[in-house]
Amino acid sequence: VILRNILLGMLAGRPMSGYDLSKLFERFLEHLWSARHSQIYPLLADLVEDGLIRQSGSGPRGRKIYEITDAGLAELRAWLTETEPGRTVRDEATLRSSLLWLLEPAQARDYLDREVAYHDAQLAHYRQLAASSTTTTAAERAMRVAVEAGLRHEQAMSEWARWASDQLATAG
Amino acid sequence: VILRNILLGMLAGRPMSGYDLSKLFERFLEHLWSARHSQIYPLLADLVEDGLIRQSGSGPRGRKIYEITDAGLAELRAWLTETEPGRTVRDEATLRSSLLWLLEPAQARDYLDREVAYHDAQLAHYRQLAASSTTTTAAERAMRVAVEAGLRHEQAMSEWARWASDQLATAG
DNA sequence: GCCTCCATGTAATTGGTTACATGATTCT
DNA sequence: AGAATCATGTAACCAATTACATGGAGGC
């Protein structure tokens, strides 16, 4: 039900095809959520059947463009205001770090150093997004706010990985 | 295959029952992963069948205590060193924030204020855990490291939500 | 005796990934 | 002509949540 509503939200931004939606996930949302085309296409069919989106056009190679309906917009707004977001964040890499005591200290330090590098790279990516994004429309300002969340998260995790590496150095 | 290895890792720390494992998830790892008892018990049976853990004791009310085997420890170490962690973090609440432009500014502010309250509560929880946790064994120190990750994440997200709410106030 | 928590399990359903399958268009 | 990319869909499998189901032990 989450992905369903996220798709609705993306189509509220602008009409798109299933292919576009799947590319958007790949390119911009990979770190926050993932969705394969095999999950997206059936969901779009469901949304059409429920009257929340409709096919508004087509293109070459059987491309189908969908737009959100008034009913879809209403349902999306209700979801955003009337339901609580799920609070379980899944983060395998950080979870693994709680098992590093099983490895040789050198191996554990290697792992944490890779974490630092990863989070620093993500941080740079978000900084660039934040710097290059315009904030003229309401949708763009909201997107900027989401980018800021990623930025601060990566910053905190980078600092944490450094701290954890230091802990190993002083304890082991 | 992730949860399977995480369970192995927890049993590497000390022998435990399925109930203990499920409580451990609730108390220390809720922010990084979730696992219900209905998923844990069948996995424990699989691990026994594969020879990676064995039942080492029992207690009142049919309590079964499991310990890791040498084969289990080897498999766990191989997983930690030879496979890359998945990088897709799932975070519904942050994803939702990119759709707040669909709401009235007052509603969006409400959403973000609830985010502040939630993250502050979590932060207090982790601070208390961090203060009360012992760090005598290697496994306990590693758990402390995972708690620190949660603590820093919640701190960053609380500050972010405040910042985002302010942004809306000054822009809208 | 009653309530709460401890403790384990199974069944049904939903959500998500990987693999299978096909074909059109564009670029070189 | 051949390769890459665009574009859509289905099937099989694995992972995870929710609901169902049961019962013992300890505190009051």
| pTM for the structure as a whole | 0.93
The answer to whether residue B62 neighbours chain A at the CB level (below 8 Å) is no
Residue-averaged pLDDT of chain B: 93
Q: How far apart are CA A154 and CA A93, in angstroms?
A: 13
Residue of A79, A101, A144 to mutate, testing the B interface (most B Cβ within 10 Å of its Cβ):
A101
Contact A58, A44 (CB under 8 A): no
- CA B67 remoteness from chain centre: 21
Proportion of chain B above pLDDT 90, given as a percent: 78
Give the pLDDT confidence score for residue A58 in this predicted structure.
Answer: 97
Q: How far apart are CA B95 and CA A30, in angstroms?
A: 11
The answer to whether residue A33 neighbours chain B at the CB level (below 8 Å) is yes
**Has residue A102 got a pLDDT over 80?**
yes
Contacts 24+ apart (CB under 8 A), B70-77: B72/B8, B72/B11, B72/B12, B72/B47, B73/A102, B73/B8, B73/B12, B75/B5, B75/B8, B76/A99, B76/A102, B76/B5, B76/B8, B76/B9, B76/B12, B77/A102, B77/A103
Give the pLDDT confidence score for residue A172 in this predicted structure.
Answer: 58
Mean per-residue pLDDT, B21-42:
93
Which nucleotide C1' is nearest A42 CA?
D9
Give the pLDDT confidence score for residue A160 in this predicted structure.
Answer: 97
Strand C interface, B 103-142, C-beta < 7 A: none
Protein CA at B18 to nucleotide C1' at C5, angstroms: 16
* Residue A138: band (very low, low, confident or very high) from pLDDT cuts 50, 70, 90: confident
Residue identified by tokens 């995790």 is A157
Tokens for A91, please give them. Answer: 């983060």
Give the pLDDT confidence score for residue B172 in this predicted structure.
Answer: 58
Mean per-residue pLDDT, B42-63:
98
Contacts of A150 in chain B (CB under 8 A): 94
Among B101, B110, B160, the residue with its CB nearest the CB of A138 is B101
Residue type, B58: S
Interval B144-171: pLDDT, tens: 888 899 999 999 999 999 999 998 888 7
Give the pLDDT confidence score for residue A42 in this predicted structure.
Answer: 98
Give the pLDDT confidence score for residue A135 in this predicted structure.
Answer: 81
Q: Which residue has the higher pLDDT, A132 or B52?
A: B52
Mean per-residue pLDDT, B75-83:
96
CB contact under 8 A, A142 and B91: no
Contacts 24+ apart (CB under 8 A), B46-55: B46/B4, B47/B4, B47/B7, B47/B8, B47/B72, B52/B8, B53/B8, B53/B11
**Has residue A41 got a pLDDT over 80?**
yes
Proportion of chain A above pLDDT 90, given as a percent: 78
Q: How far apart are CA B57 and CA B50, in angstroms?
A: 18
Give the pLDDT confidence score for residue A122 in this predicted structure.
Answer: 92
Contacts 24+ apart (CB under 8 A), B48-54: B52/B8, B53/B8, B53/B11
Phi, psi torsion values for B26, nearest 5 degrees: -60, -45
Residue identified by tokens 């890779």 is A114
Give the pLDDT confidence score for residue A86 in this predicted structure.
Answer: 92
Interval A146-172: pLDDT, tens: 889 999 999 999 999 999 999 988 875
**Has residue B19 got a pLDDT over 70?**
yes
Give the pLDDT confidence score for residue B29 in this predicted structure.
Answer: 86
CA distances in angstroms from B145 to A95, B45, B129, listed in the order given: 10, 29, 11
Mean per-residue pLDDT, A46-70:
98
**Has residue A10 got a pLDDT over 90?**
yes
Phi, psi torsion values for A55, nearest 5 degrees: -75, 120
CB contact under 8 A, B98 and A143: yes
Proportion of chain A above pLDDT 70, given as a percent: 99
**Has residue A49 got a pLDDT over 70?**
yes
CB contact under 8 A, B99 and A88: no
Half-sphere exposure of A57 (CA within 13 A, CB side): 8
CB contact under 8 A, B6 and A171: no
Q: How far apart are CA B129 and CA B125, in angstroms?
A: 6
CA distances in angstroms from B122 to B30, B115, B153, listed in the order given: 10, 11, 10
